[in-house]
Amino acid sequence: MTVTLEGAWALSPSVALRPERFGALAYHFGTRRLTFLKRPELVAVVRGLATADDVEAALEGAGVPAEHYPAYLAALDGLAATDMIQERAA
Amino acid sequence: MRLIDHFESGLDAPICLTWELTYACNLECAHCLSSSGRRDPRELTTEQCEAVIDELQRMQVFYVNIGGGEPTVRPDFWHLVEYAVAHDVGVKFSTNGIRLTPERAAWLASTDYVDVQISLDGATAEVNDRVRGAGSYDTAIAALRNLRDAGFKDAKVSVVCTRENIGQLDEFKAIADEYGATLRLTRLRPSGRGADVWDDLHPLPEQQKVLYDWLMASGERVLTGDSFFHLAAFGESLPGLNLCGAGRVVCLIDPIGDVYACPFAIYDNFLAGNLLADGGFARVWRESELFTELRAPQTGGACSGCAHYDGCRGGCMAAKFFTGLPLDGPDPECVQGYGEAALAEPRGIPAASRDHSRSAPTRNAPVLLTLSRRSDLKDLSSPAAPPVSACAESPLAGFVPQPERV
C-alpha cells in the first residue's frame, strides 16, 4: 500500500515518538523496531497525520514546500512498510 | 549535522539501556562480562527498581535489556517485567533459561512487549558447556523448546562468537530456525572474567573474515547488537549504528544502581555515578563528568591516519581498555592488523575489580584447562623423557639400591 497525497494515515497506536535535536526517535512496541525521523519537519508531518484530512493537508500544515512532497511521500512509504504509520478511514 | 554526529555528542536519554538486575547466577561462565556469581547485598530493592522504571518512563527510554547475573533468579523478576511493560518500558531479557518452565513460557507468550534472549555459546553441548558449564546447553535448548511450544514468537538465540564456535554459524542459524527464533551474534569482550580467557577464545584474524562474510551475506536476518563495527574496516559497514555508543546512546545500570558507560565496562574508570547517591538516573546520564567527556569530540589518535577510520572509528573502548591498549589507538582485533602489533608492545592489563564470582567453583563450573603433553618434547610416544626440569632432579637419581648384606 502506497502513501498518496489523498490518503488518510495516522501514527500506529503501538508507536511512541521521542523528540530529539535531529527530529525524533520512533519506537514500535509491537515489532520492537526503532526508526530515526531525521528532520523536525517529518516529525511534524507524522504527528499531524491523524488530525489532517489527508496527507497533503498534513504536509501543508507542517510547512513543507510542494517541491519536497515526493521526498516526504517516500519517507512516509518507508514508515508505512514497517507499520510505523497506518492507513485510517478518511 | 549528520545523524552519527548527533549520536556522538550524546542524546538526552539513552536509546538502549542495559540493566543488570542481579550479580547472582546459577552458572559460572568462563567469559562472564560482569564477573557474576554471588548476589551483592546492596542490590536495589523492588521499590527502588520500580522507581528506576518510573524514571525511564519519564525519559521515554523505550526499552531496557535486562540481564545479570541471571535476572530470573530474583524473586521479583517477573513482577518487575510486568511493571516495566505497564509503564511503557519494553523489556528484552537475557537468560540462560533456568527459569523458563512451560508455565512461564505460556505466560510470556501471552504478554506483549517482552522479548526473550537465550544465551548459547556453542551449537553443540560440547562447545557450549566448555565455556558455560556442564548442563547449560540442555537448559538453553529446553527453554527454547518451551517457548516455541507455548507459541512464543521470535525469541532470540544470543551467541558470543569465539574461536571455538565460529565454525558453527550455520548450525546456530539452524537451531534458531528450528525454534522459530532469531539468531543474534555478539562480540567476545575481554571484560570481567572474559579478561582471563580472551587470549584463548577471541576469534583468530582469519575467523574474523569468515564472520564478516557470513554477516554480510545474512544482512538483517541476523542481529548483532551493533557489536561488530570494528569489522567495518574490511570494507562495507554492517547494518547498525557503527559507532561506540558508550555514554552517548547506551549505558549500563548495575544491580546496586551504579551507572557505567557501557555493558562491557563494569570498572571504576567507566563509572559515571550511582542513581541512588547522585540524584537519579537522568541526572547521572545528563550531567556526569565521565559522560560529558565521552561526548566531547574524540580524535582518532594513532588511528587518525588510517584510511578505514571512518568505518570502524577506532573500534571498541572496552576491548582496548581491558587488553591494556591506549583508548585512542587501534582495537585489539583491528582487522587491518594494527591490533596485533599493539598487543605485542609492553602493556599492563587492568587488575580485576567488582568481582562477584563465587569464592569456590561449583561442580558444574567450566574448566578451560586442557591436559596435554609438553610441546617441546619431540617424540610424544616416548615415555623416556619425563616432564621434569633440571632443578627438580631427584637427589637419588642414578642410585640403585643394593640388597643389604647382613
pLDDT in tens, B171-204: 999 999 999 999 999 999 999 999 999 999 999 9
Alpha-carbon dihedral angle through residues B293, B297, B298, B299, given to the nearest 10 degrees: -140
Q: In this predicted model, what pLDDT tens digit does every residue of B232-244 receive, in sequence order?
A: 888 888 877 777 8
Q: For residue A26, what is the nearest residue in chain B, using CA coordinates?
A: B62
Q: What is the pLDDT of residue B401?
A: 78
Q: Do A22 and B60 touch (CB under 8 A)?
A: no
The reply to whether omega before B273 is within 30° of 0 (cis) is: no
Residue type, A48: G
Q: What share of chain B is helix, strand, coil (3-state, %, to 5)?
A: 35, 10, 50
Q: If you write DSSP's letter for every residue of B174-230 in order, what string do you get?
A: HHHHHTT-EEEEEE----TTHHHHHHHHSPPHHHHHHHHHHHHHHGGGSB-TTTTGG
Q: Do B3 and A29 touch (CB under 8 A)?
A: no
Q: What is the pLDDT of residue B381?
A: 58
Cell of A38: 531525521
Q: Do B15 and A25 touch (CB under 8 A)?
A: yes
Q: What is the pLDDT of residue B392?
A: 58
State whether residue A27 sits within 8 Å of chain B by CB.
yes
Nearest CA-CA distance, residue B6 and chain A, Å = 7
Q: CA B257 from chain center: how many Å?
A: 19
| Confidence band of B112 (pLDDT split at 50, 70, 90) | confident
Interface of B with A (CB under 8 A): 1, 3, 6, 11-13, 15, 60, 62-63, 88, 90, 92, 112-113, 115
**A-chain residues within 8 Å CB-CB of B1?**
22
Nearest CA-CA distance, residue A47 and chain B, Å = 17
**How far from each other are the two terminal CA atoms of chain B, in whole angstroms?**
102
State whether residue A36 sits within 8 Å of chain B by CB.
yes
| Confidence band of B398 (pLDDT split at 50, 70, 90) | low
pTM: 0.88
Q: Which residue has the higher pLDDT, B70 or A31?
A: B70
| Confidence band of A89 (pLDDT split at 50, 70, 90) | confident
Supply the ipTM of this predicted assembly. Answer: 0.86
**B-chain residues within 8 Å CB-CB of A32?**
63, 90, 92, 115
Q: In this predicted model, what pLDDT tens digit does every residue of B316-375 receive, in sequence order?
A: 999 999 999 999 999 999 999 999 989 998 888 898 888 999 988 888 888 887 777 666
State whether residue A81 sits within 8 Å of chain B by CB.
no
Determine the Cα–Cα distance for residues B179 and B261; give it in Å rounded to an integer. Answer: 34
Q: Do B88 and A36 touch (CB under 8 A)?
A: no
In this complex, the residue of A21, A32, A36 whose CB is nearest that of residue B90 is: A32
Q: Do B60 and A32 touch (CB under 8 A)?
A: no
Q: In this predicted model, what pLDDT tens digit does every residue of B294-319 receive, in sequence order?
A: 999 887 788 988 999 988 889 999 99
Element (H, E) at B17: strand B16-20
Cell of A28: 514500535
**A-chain residues within 8 Å CB-CB of B113?**
29-30
